[in-house]
Amino acid sequence: MNIELICSGSELLTGKLNTHASFIGDKLNDLGVNLSLITTVADRKNEFAQVLGDAVKRSAVIIVTGGLGPTFDDITVETVSEILNVKTYKDENVAKAIVQYFEKRGIDCPAANNERQAQILEGAKVLENRFGTAPGQMLHFVYNESENKKVRKTIFLLPGPPKEMCPMFEENVLPFMRSYQIKMKKTLVLHICGMAESLVDEKIKPTIDYLSANDDVEFAILAHQFLIDVKVSVSGENELTIDDTIKNINQEFVNVLGDNIYGYDEDTLEGVIQKMLIETKKTVSVAESCTGGLLSAKLTNTPGSSAVFKQSVVTYSNEAKIQMLGVKAETLEQFGAVSEETASEMLTGILNLSKADYAVSITGIAGPDGATKDKPVGLVYIGVSYKGNNEVNKFKFLGTRSDIRARAVNVALDSLRRMILKTKNVRVKK
């Protein structure tokens, strides 16, 4: 059975990131069914009609995202109407809901907005949009493959904005797709930091090779800014067997990756650190330079962070490092702002200032300017401390300014996690 995704939107062809494909593909994969084809097409009717017409011929289920809004380039409903030879009508309940949506926000509802988005394909089921105005639609239709063969197919029309599309997909498309699920499928994602992707691959390869002949077991590895995800998917008809297989694979990976595994599934590095600090009743403070507050933002991103996060300072200039953290002027003069010595004194300063248990410091050159012969772009010193026992490490990150800052933050978080593990022997358990 072919399942096809059509992403409509000229903006998707001119640089805007298409997150629909990864979201929908991942959700369907977890069910044990997979997309056969993904097409991105511009908001030009002739091109969209060609893509849609081809999809109707070859696929049993077609999912279309985008083109349901009120503007001139929102052509999805009218094009589907023409290709499938299905009339549309104005749904008064939808029109009323659109008016109420605007009234609740104290905005007059444009007549064109109301009229265009209330057009529904005859025979379609209206899919409620709880986060916007454009409703989705689900239509079963009959396609004549030949004179003697008629096939029942289904098309879903979903809005383009992810905040509207994602919940509508989960609430309507996923339940429908479960009827096509042949096998049960479960997935485990391991999150890893502190090892190169190639080394992770080398460590887990014996397990992957051993299971390579088992078509019910799939592996994937993805690296992003020094964080690595290893995804294990196991299919089958017996849930206990699936669970045992996942458990055994996880244990094999734990044996070779150890504390480099920082979490599972929905865990984040900052969320894991917060749990560890809460468990040990400890606190942390941060002193940043080149990352400009990004580390502090990460540590306070998880609800409940106020229980463990005490204070942060962004000391971008040498004057700020001296005045706020007590970094010695002679240290800056002799070793420079980007140095092991400065990173260590930043740790001492933030600990004295905040009285936290743990501290993290970052100082470096994110670029593209500011480098010297001895201190290139990407040079970063990251320090961690527990009760005044300072550890500082030197790193050389590659990439853009944004890449360097993001990688420095992730390594700093992992350095803090490892310091907590070392000092309190707290482990993340699955």
Same structural domain, 117 and 251: no
Confidence of residue 222 (pLDDT cuts 50, 70, 90): very high
**430 in any annotated domain:** no
Q: Give the domain range for residue 43.
A: 3-180
**357 in any annotated domain:** yes
Of 244, 264, 284, the residue that ends a domain is 264
Antiparallel, parallel or unpaired: β 61-65 and 3-8: parallel
pLDDT (average), residues 254-260? 97
Residue 33 has a pLDDT of 85
Same structural domain, 135 and 12: yes
Give me 269's structure tokens. 């590095």
Confidence of residue 427 (pLDDT cuts 50, 70, 90): low
pLDDT above 70: residue 425: no
Residue 397 has a pLDDT of 96
Same structural domain, 19 and 162: yes
Is-contact 250 282, C-beta < 8 A? no
pLDDT (average), residues 307-320? 97
Same structural domain, 47 and 188: no
How far, in Å, CA of 341 to CA of 332, rounded? Answer: 8
**165 in any annotated domain:** yes
Same structural domain, 286 and 212: no
Name residue 199's amino acid. L
The residue that leads in pLDDT, 149 or 338, is: 338
pLDDT (average), residues 262-270? 97
275: Cβ contacts below 8 Å, ≥ 6 apart = 428
CATH code: domain of residue 357:
3.90.950.20
**429 in any annotated domain:** no
* Residue reference for tokens 């001492």: 348
Residue 289 has a pLDDT of 97
59: Cβ contacts below 8 Å, ≥ 6 apart = 2, 3, 4, 36, 37, 153
Q: Indicate the range of 361-365, 393-397, 425-429 predicted with least confidence.
A: 425-429
**45 in any annotated domain:** yes
How far, in Å, CA of 383 to CA of 358, rounded? Answer: 11
Residue 109 has a pLDDT of 73
Same structural domain, 360 and 253: no
**18 in any annotated domain:** yes
Same structural domain, 342 and 196: no
When the pLDDT of each residue in the chain is averaged and rounded to a whole number, the result is 93
User: pLDDT tens digit string along 346-392?
Assistant: 999 999 999 999 999 999 999 999 999 899 999 999 999 999 999 99
The residue that leads in pLDDT, 328 or 74, is: 328
**39 in any annotated domain:** yes
Confidence of residue 344 (pLDDT cuts 50, 70, 90): very high
Of 211, 243, 264, the residue that ends a domain is 264
Is-contact 311 350, C-beta < 8 A? yes
pLDDT above 80: residue 313: yes
Count of domains in the chain?
A: 3
Give me 420's structure tokens. 């907590």
Phi/psi for 201 (5° steps) reads -60, -40
Same structural domain, 202 and 255: yes
CATH code: domain of residue 134:
3.40.980.10
Residue 112 has a pLDDT of 64
How far, in Å, CA of 212 to CA of 219, rounded? Answer: 9
Residue 71 has a pLDDT of 84
* Residue reference for tokens 């979201």: 23
Give me 371's structure tokens. 């480098």
| Count of residues in the chain | 430
Residue 82 has a pLDDT of 96
**Helix 239-257 vs helix 197-210: angle between axes, to the nearest 10 degrees?**
140
Confidence of residue 209 (pLDDT cuts 50, 70, 90): very high
Same structural domain, 274 and 260: no
Same structural domain, 160 and 306: no
The residue that leads in pLDDT, 105 or 419, is: 419
Residue 412 has a pLDDT of 98
Of 180, 214, 236, the residue that ends a domain is 180
Residue 191 has a pLDDT of 98
DSSP states along 153-219 = EEEEEE-SSHHHHHHHIIIIIHHHHGGG--SEEEEEEEEEESS-HHHHHHHHHHHHHHTTT-TTEEE
User: pLDDT tens digit string along 24-44?
Assistant: 998 998 888 889 999 999 999
CA distances from 19 to 24, 30, 173, 312, 349 (A): 9, 17, 17, 33, 43
pLDDT (average), residues 106-121? 79
**How much helix, strand and coil, in percent to the nearest 5, is found in the chain?**
45, 25, 30
**240 in any annotated domain:** yes
Same structural domain, 254 and 284: no
Residue 261 has a pLDDT of 98
Is-contact 288 362, C-beta < 8 A? yes
The pTM of this model reads: 0.78
Is-contact 239 216, C-beta < 8 A? no
User: pLDDT tens digit string along 400-424?
Assistant: 999 999 999 999 999 999 999 999 8
pLDDT (average), residues 205-233? 94
Percentage of the chain modeled with pLDDT above 90: 83
Same structural domain, 226 and 312: no
> Is the CA virtual torsion 311, 317, 323, 328 positive or negative?
positive
425: Cβ contacts below 8 Å, ≥ 6 apart = none
Bridge partners (DSSP) listed for residue 142: 152
